[in-house]
Amino acid sequence: MDFTIYDVVLLVAFVVVTSIFLYKRRKNLKKEGLLFLYRTSLGIKIITKIGTKYRRLLNVLGYVSIALGFVLMGTMLYFFGRIVWIYIFQAEVVQAIKVPPIMPLIPYLPQIFKLDFLPPFYFIYWIIILAVVAISHEFSHGIFAATKKIKIKNTGFGFFPFFLPVFLAAFVELDEKRMEKKKISEQMAILSAGTFANVVTALLFFGVLILFFFAAFTPSGVMFDSYTYSIVGVASVTSVNHFFVENTTYEGILEMMQDGTNEIIANEKSYFITKSSLEKQGSSDYIALYDDAPAINANLSNVIIKINGVDIDSVEKLGEEISKYSPGEKIIVTALESGANRDYEIVLGENPENEDAPYLGIGFLNRRSSGVMESIVSIFSSFREPNVYYAPNFNAAEFIYNLLWWLVLISFSVALVNMLPVGIFDGGRFFYLAVLGLTKNEKLAKRLFVLMTYLFIGLVGVIMIFWGLSFFK
C-alpha cells in the first residue's frame, strides 16, 4: 500500500484527537486576531532554569545572535530582491512556476505542484518538523529572556480556525512591559534568539544528515539527464516524421509534431526531439535536437547500473567501461527502471569527434540552479556527487533521509524569513531597535519601521500581480 494512504489516515487521526483535546480544554482557548491560542505553563520552569544557570554563556551568545540576525536580514533582503526582479523582468521563469508566490509549506505541496527538484513532503514530516522548529525557536526566545530576568507569562500553541485544529505554531509569551525597559542590545538578543536557534538546529541536523547519508546509501549507478544533442537552424529542417515541412519556422515545425519522440531531418541528418522539449525551448531561429545515437534509439532509462555485468558507481567508471569497446560492438546496459533492473542490448556507435572511439550518446547537463529556492536546495545536497545514483541500504533509508533533509531546509528557511524587517516577524522589531539604537530618534525609527513594512507588503502585491499576469501570456 502507498505510504500516502497511511499518512492521510494519520492526518485524520491527528485532527480528531486534537479536536477532542481542544474541546475538552476549551477554557484555555482564546481568539487573538486570526489565531486561536492555547495557553499553558508547560516548560516555563525548564526555560527559566536554563536561562538562569547558563546566564554568562547565554549573554555572550546574545551578541553572536545579534550579529547573526543582521547577516540573516541582509541575506533575506538580497533573496527577496532577486525574487522581485525575477517576477518583474523574467516572464519566462514566472510562467514555469506553478506555486503561488505566497504559499505556506503544507503537506504534499511538492507532489501537488510537481516540484521535481524537491523530495515528497508528508504530513508526518510536517508535524515532526513543525514541532522541532517552532519549539526550539520559541523556547530560545524564552531562555534568552530569562537571562535578562524577564518573566515568562505563558507558553502554548496556536492555529488558524479555518485550517482545522492542526498545530501550526508554538509561542512563549513574555512580560512585554519589562522587556521594553531593557537595553536595546538585550531586546535585540531576545528577538534574534529564535532565528539563532533555527540556524543551530539546521547546522546540527545537517551534520546528522551527512553522517546518515553515507551510512545508509551506497553509490550504485550513474544518472544521465540528457541525450547528446546538436544546435540546428530552423531553416535547415526539411521533414518531421517523414512529412515534408512547408512552413520552416519554429511554429510550423511545432505544429507538425506528435506526442512522444519525433524524428526530424535537418542538413540531411536524422535528429530526435519530443514535443514538450521543443515547447520549452521557445520560438527561435535555432533549436536543440537530440542526435541519432544508440542511447536514444534504445530509449535507454536514465539510471545505468551495469555495463556487461560490471557495476557502475561513478561517471568515471562508466567512461572507463565504455572505452573498452569499439564502435559497432554490442553491449548489455543494465538500467534501473521503475524500481527494477532492465537489460538493454545496444550497439555502440562512432563518436562524432573521433570515429575510432565508441559512442553511447548520453549527456550530463549539470544545470546551474537559477531560482532562489533551487539554489538553497542545491546547497543542502552539495555533499552528494552529481549524476551518481545512490541505492538505500535498507527500506526506511530514503524516508528518514528526506525527513532530515526537510528539517534542515525548513529550519534555515524559517530563520531567514523570520528576519525580514516586517512588522509580523521578529525582524520587524529587530529592525526598529537597530534604527533606534543608531539614531536615538524614536519617531524616525517608527516611521522607517512602518515604511519597511508597507514597502514589503507592496512588493508582495507586485509579485502576486506579475504571477497572475503570467497566466495570460
The pLDDT of residue 21: 83
The mean per-residue pLDDT over the stretch 353-373 comes to 76
Evaluate if residue 433 carries a pLDDT over 90. Answer: yes
Evaluate if residue 379 carries a pLDDT over 90. Answer: no
Evaluate if residue 339 carries a pLDDT over 70. Answer: yes
Q: Are strands 229-233 and 217-223 parallel, antiparallel or unpaired?
A: unpaired
Q: Each residue of 390-428: pLDDT tens digit? A: 999 999 999 999 999 999 999 999 999 999 999 889 999
End-to-end alpha carbon distance in the chain: 42
* Residue range(s) in the chain whose domain bears CATH number 2.30.42.10: 223-363
Q: What is the DSSP string of 173-197?
A: EE-HHHHHTS-HHHHHHHHHHHHHH
Amino acid at 437: G
Alpha helices by DSSP H, listed for 390-425, are 397-418
- For residues 363 and 297, the answer to whether their CB atoms sit within 8 Å is no
Distance between CA atoms of residues 443 and 449, nearest Å: 10
Q: pLDDT grade, residue 264 (50/70/90)?
A: very high
The mean per-residue pLDDT over the stretch 206-220 comes to 96
Residue with cell 550504485: 220
Q: pLDDT grade, residue 343 (50/70/90)?
A: very high
Evaluate if residue 471 carries a pLDDT over 80. Answer: no
- For residues 142 and 151, the answer to whether their CB atoms sit within 8 Å is no
The pLDDT of residue 180: 92
Q: pLDDT grade, residue 357 (50/70/90)?
A: very high
Evaluate if residue 165 carries a pLDDT over 60. Answer: no
Evaluate if residue 453 carries a pLDDT over 90. Answer: yes
The pLDDT of residue 168: 67
Distance between CA atoms of residues 313 and 93, nearest Å: 34
Whole-number mean pLDDT of the chain? 90
Higher pLDDT, 95 or 415: 415
Q: pLDDT grade, residue 35 (50/70/90)?
A: confident
Higher pLDDT, 167 or 419: 419
The pLDDT of residue 442: 95
Q: Each residue of 314-324: pLDDT tens digit? A: 999 999 999 99
Higher pLDDT, 111 or 132: 132
Q: Closest by alpha carbon to 62, among 198, 194, 206?
A: 194
Higher pLDDT, 282 or 63: 63
The mean per-residue pLDDT over the stretch 131-149 comes to 95
Q: Which residues pair with residue 390 across a beta bridge?
A: 219
Evaluate if residue 91 carries a pLDDT over 70. Answer: yes
Q: Which of 30-39, 78-87, 347-356 is least confident?
A: 30-39
Q: Closest by alpha carbon to 108, among 126, 94, 90?
A: 126
Chain Cα centroid distance, residue 316: 29
The pLDDT of residue 163: 52
Chain Cα centroid distance, residue 124: 18
Distance between CA atoms of residues 66 and 59, nearest Å: 11
Evaluate if residue 267 carries a pLDDT over 80. Answer: yes
Evaluate if residue 106 carries a pLDDT over 60. Answer: yes
Evaluate if residue 117 carries a pLDDT over 80. Answer: no
Architecture of domain 223-363: Roll (2.30)
Evaluate if residue 221 carries a pLDDT over 70. Answer: yes
Q: pLDDT grade, residue 378 (50/70/90)?
A: confident
Q: pLDDT grade, residue 38 (50/70/90)?
A: confident
The pLDDT of residue 331: 96
The mean per-residue pLDDT over the stretch 55-81 comes to 95
The pLDDT of residue 265: 95
The pLDDT of residue 135: 92
The mean per-residue pLDDT over the stretch 283-292 comes to 92
Higher pLDDT, 414 or 37: 414
Evaluate if residue 166 carries a pLDDT over 70. Answer: no
